[in-house]
Chains A and B, each alone.
Chain A
Amino acid sequence: MLVFLVKRLLNAAAVMLAVGFLAFMIFRFVGDPVELMLNEQASQQQRDELRVRLGLDKPFVMQFATFIANAVRGDFGISYRNQQDVFTLIVERFPATLELVMLATFLSLVVGIPLGVYSAIRREKPLAKLIQFVSVLGVSLPSFAVGILFILLFSVSLGWLPAFGRGQVVQIGWWSTGFLTHSGRLALILPAVTLSLFQITLVMRLVRAEMLETMRTDFIRFARARGLPDSSVHFRHALRNCLMPVITVTGLQIGNLIAFALVTETVFQWPGMGLLFVQAVTFVDIPVMAAYLMIVSAIFVTLNTLVDLTYALVDPRLKQDAIAGGAGGR
């Protein structure tokens, strides 16, 4: 177990180092930082001073080491665009994105699981076939287009829901939440539904596939032979056995959702870190881009590693494989 743990952690560290290298390359080579930070009238002496202050005169490896050391301490430098500390900027925006992602995840489970169960146990009903078809439609329509169509329908035509922004937020410590005010909750509805649509189809398809698989197993046949009512067979026996992969995939998808939220945030002008990133890309604000890449990747890698470790705890076969595989096995 210890071998497996160490291997997984080393792996995660290696991936983060690779991402850090990518971020560093962007920082260092896409546009000259000195040129971007000073205005055109700056003298050669000012340029040289800034070059020394940023450490750009040191050898390449040293620069990379400094970059990583700073990043670990949460120091990603100063935003070129609004001259603020990048880490503070991102932390300020983080609650908006996380609330959106959490609500979307919640919606995907609450809607996706029942739809998946229904289309698995009533496979031949027309409604189940319709759900299947709609789920293909769900992965075919790009989420930004769906978001815009929602705005057209619910904001422009009907005027029921706000089309942009977060509404009123309440500050709790450093966390700002939109759940506590009426306008904040209203503003959450459209972005969260838009973000969750893809996720709903994913959960639904997964639950359906797992249910169909489980319904063929012997213990379900045995449960039926015992004369248990359908509801008990479907929900207490079959569904329970499907939930493990559903929870794993949902957990893994949170990282993807945080990244994908940048599209939703752009559509709804939602003041999260995705919108910050998209604006940084447009203005070539490189410290913000590099920091966002590293933070989102860190979340992603942490979730992946946690899921792998949980699996190893739950499923002893994986542990054996990892140990037997040794250094050569992947």
Chain B
Amino acid sequence: MAAETTRFARFMGSDLVYSFRRSPVAMVSLVLLLVLIITAFLAPLIAPQNPHDLKQIFIDKAELPPIWKKDGEWPFILGTDPQGRDVLSAILYGTRISLTIGLASVAVSMTIGIAIGLIAGYLGGSIDNILMRIADTVLSIPTLLIAILVSAIFRGLLPPALRDPFAAIILVVAIALTAWVQYARTVRASTLVERRKEYVLAARIIGVAPWRIMRRHILPNTLTPVMVAATLNLGLAILSEATLSFLGVGMPITQPSLGTLIRIGNQYLFSGSWWLVVFPAIQLGLIVLSVNLLGDWLRDALNPRLR
């Protein structure tokens, strides 16, 4: 217990927390992000309606405008879509899907990237050469194109009945396969520096296995840039997911993410139902904005040259 308290106290006294306390932008964006995350994951409890439950949807409440407009009705604060679904509830459920896919693809790409970076940097030689050539090739094709193709290939390989249940996993793989390169390069660069230091030499002399040196000794010293990259990539991953869903190679209409909602709303653009597009777009913008602002702050706070 005592160790826990001191660790917490040490964290609270760190430069990072000090810099956080002095940055109103970072505080506001963290609060905003937490609110968005909590409301999204509590969606089944707080949303006025479950948009996936047909029993709760009434067709006579279709295409209601937001509540402050004439014809708006309680509890449909942000209006309803042509099937009578509550837009606010759809956004909360959609945010949950978008955030889950974003976080999962960052986790997967970070794991792949760190592993490849450590192996390439520590072992060097021809393994390093091959891995970095692959990384160069991935970098030489625009990322959006890779993500669309991977997604299209998996969908082509799966029988149509399995496409929708696996849509989220396909998206995570497609986004992760484009994003690992950045982590691999960062980790490889720091590993190249770390592996020449005395503590690594000492570990090698006493006979620690290479994978253990990589994991326990080198990895912790390469994580600072990875943290910054991961935060900024979370924003990118959420945007990629939304873009793929918007293009029709992402989440299906039965499990709409924010991108799918915008895609659906786009079809009603000229019928005057602007709220179907505008609110999901604002929500998406708020999520990515708060993540990006936090990432920018973290990058500056962890950069010793800017202190």
Interface set of A (CB-CB < 8 Å, partner B)? 11, 14-15, 18-19, 22, 26, 29-31, 136-137, 139-142, 144-145, 148-149, 151-152, 156, 163, 255-256, 258-260, 262-263, 266-267, 277-278, 281-282, 284, 286, 289, 293, 296-297, 300-301, 304, 330
Chain B residues within an 8 Å CB radius of A151: 269
Those of B288-306 within 8 Å (CB) of chain A:
288-289, 292-293, 296
Those of B265-289 within 8 Å (CB) of chain A:
265-266, 269-270, 272, 274, 277-278, 281, 284-285, 288-289
What are 21 A-B residue pairs whose CB atoms fall within 8 Å in the complex? A15-B137, A15-B140, A26-B149, A29-B157, A136-B289, A136-B292, A136-B296, A141-B281, A141-B284, A144-B242, A148-B265, A148-B266, A152-B277, A156-B272, A258-B142, A260-B142, A260-B144, A263-B243, A281-B249, A300-B142, A304-B140
Q: Are A266 and B140 also in contact (CB < 8 A) when A30-B156, A137-B289, A144-B262 are?
A: no
Closest 7 CB pairs of A and B: A259-B142, A30-B156, A145-B281, A140-B289, A140-B288, A141-B285, A281-B152
Q: Are A142 and B242 also in contact (CB < 8 A) when A152-B274, A262-B144 are?
A: yes
Q: Are A18 and B137 also in contact (CB < 8 A) when A144-B262, A152-B278, A256-B142 are?
A: yes
Q: In this complex, what residue of B is CB-closest to A149?
A: B281
Please classify how large the interface on chain B is, using the bins under 10, 10 to 19, 20 to 34, 35 or more.
35 or more
The total of Cβ contacts below 8 Å across the A-B interface reads 125
Cα A262 to Cα B239 with chains together (Å): 15
Interface string of B116-152 (1 = CB under 8 A from A): 0000000000000100110011001110110011001
**In the assembled complex, how far is the CB of residue A233 from the closest CB belonging to chain B, in whole angstroms?**
25
Q: Quick check: is B165 within 8 A (CB to CB) of the other chain?
A: no
Interface string of B148-170 (1 = CB under 8 A from A): 11001100110000000000000
Q: Are A156 and B270 also in contact (CB < 8 A) when A140-B285, A293-B149 are?
A: yes
**In the assembled complex, how far is the CB of residue B111 from the closest CB belonging to chain A, in whole angstroms?**
23
Are B140 and A300 in contact, CB atoms less than 8 angstroms apart?
A: yes
Cα A163 to Cα B156 with chains together (Å): 32
Are A289 and B140 in contact, CB atoms less than 8 angstroms apart?
A: no
Are B247 and A278 in contact, CB atoms less than 8 angstroms apart?
A: yes
Q: Are A289 and B293 also in contact (CB < 8 A) when A142-B239, A263-B247, A300-B141 are?
A: no
**In the assembled complex, how far is the CB of residue A252 from the closest CB belonging to chain B, in whole angstroms?**
11
Cα A282 to Cα B289 with chains together (Å): 30
Chain B residues within an 8 Å CB radius of A149: 277-278, 281
Cα A18 to Cα B142 with chains together (Å): 14
Q: Quick check: is B44 within 8 A (CB to CB) of the other chain?
A: no
Are A255 and B142 in contact, CB atoms less than 8 angstroms apart?
A: yes
Cα A267 to Cα B235 with chains together (Å): 21
Q: Quick check: is B75 within 8 A (CB to CB) of the other chain?
A: no
Are A148 and B144 in contact, CB atoms less than 8 angstroms apart?
A: no
Are A259 and B144 in contact, CB atoms less than 8 angstroms apart?
A: yes
Chain A residues within an 8 Å CB radius of B132: 330
Per DSSP, are chain A's interface residues mostly helix, strand or loop, or mixed?
A: helix
Q: Quick check: is B183 within 8 A (CB to CB) of the other chain?
A: no
**In the assembled complex, how far is the CB of residue B187 from the closest CB belonging to chain A, in whole angstroms?**
16
Q: Are A156 and B269 also in contact (CB < 8 A) when A142-B243, A142-B284 are?
A: yes
Chain A residues within an 8 Å CB radius of B144: 259-260, 262-263
Which one of B132, B136, B145, B246 has the highest number of Cβ atoms from chain A below 10 Å of its Cβ? B145
Cα A156 to Cα B271 with chains together (Å): 9
Are B270 and A140 in contact, CB atoms less than 8 angstroms apart?
A: no
Chain B residues within an 8 Å CB radius of A18: 137
Are A284 and B152 in contact, CB atoms less than 8 angstroms apart?
A: yes
Chain B residues within an 8 Å CB radius of A260: 142, 144
Those of B181-237 within 8 Å (CB) of chain A:
235
**In the assembled complex, how far is the CB of residue A109 from the closest CB belonging to chain B, in whole angstroms?**
20
**In the assembled complex, how far is the CB of residue B279 from the closest CB belonging to chain A, in whole angstroms?**
11
Are B140 and A139 in contact, CB atoms less than 8 angstroms apart?
A: no
Chain A residues within an 8 Å CB radius of B140: 15, 19, 297, 300-301, 304
**In the assembled complex, how far is the CB of residue B184 from the closest CB belonging to chain A, in whole angstroms?**
14
**In the assembled complex, how far is the CB of residue A218 from the closest CB belonging to chain B, in whole angstroms?**
20
Cα A15 to Cα B149 with chains together (Å): 17
Partner of B149, one of A144, A258, A289: A289
Chain B residues within an 8 Å CB radius of A304: 140
Are A144 and B156 in contact, CB atoms less than 8 angstroms apart?
A: no
Cα A11 to Cα B129 with chains together (Å): 13
Cα A282 to Cα B149 with chains together (Å): 11
Cα A281 to Cα B174 with chains together (Å): 15
**In the assembled complex, how far is the CB of residue B301 from the closest CB belonging to chain A, in whole angstroms?**
16
Q: In this complex, what residue of A is CB-closest to B238?
A: A142
Chain A residues within an 8 Å CB radius of B149: 22, 26, 289, 293
Chain B residues within an 8 Å CB radius of A255: 142
Are B269 and A152 in contact, CB atoms less than 8 angstroms apart?
A: yes
Chain A residues within an 8 Å CB radius of B156: 30-31, 284, 286
Cα A140 to Cα B156 with chains together (Å): 31
Chain B residues within an 8 Å CB radius of A11: 136
**In the assembled complex, how far is the CB of residue A248 from the closest CB belonging to chain B, in whole angstroms?**
16
Are B284 and A145 in contact, CB atoms less than 8 angstroms apart?
A: yes
Chain B residues within an 8 Å CB radius of A282: 248-249
Cα A144 to Cα B149 with chains together (Å): 19
**In the assembled complex, how far is the CB of residue B272 from the closest CB belonging to chain A, in whole angstroms?**
8
**In the assembled complex, how far is the CB of residue B29 from the closest CB belonging to chain A, in whole angstroms?**
10
Cα A144 to Cα B242 with chains together (Å): 9
Cα A24 to Cα B230 with chains together (Å): 33
Chain A residues within an 8 Å CB radius of B133: 14
Are B145 and A293 in contact, CB atoms less than 8 angstroms apart?
A: yes
Q: In this complex, what residue of A is CB-closest to B271?
A: A156
Cα A163 to Cα B239 with chains together (Å): 23
**In the assembled complex, how far is the CB of residue A152 from the closest CB belonging to chain B, in whole angstroms?**
6
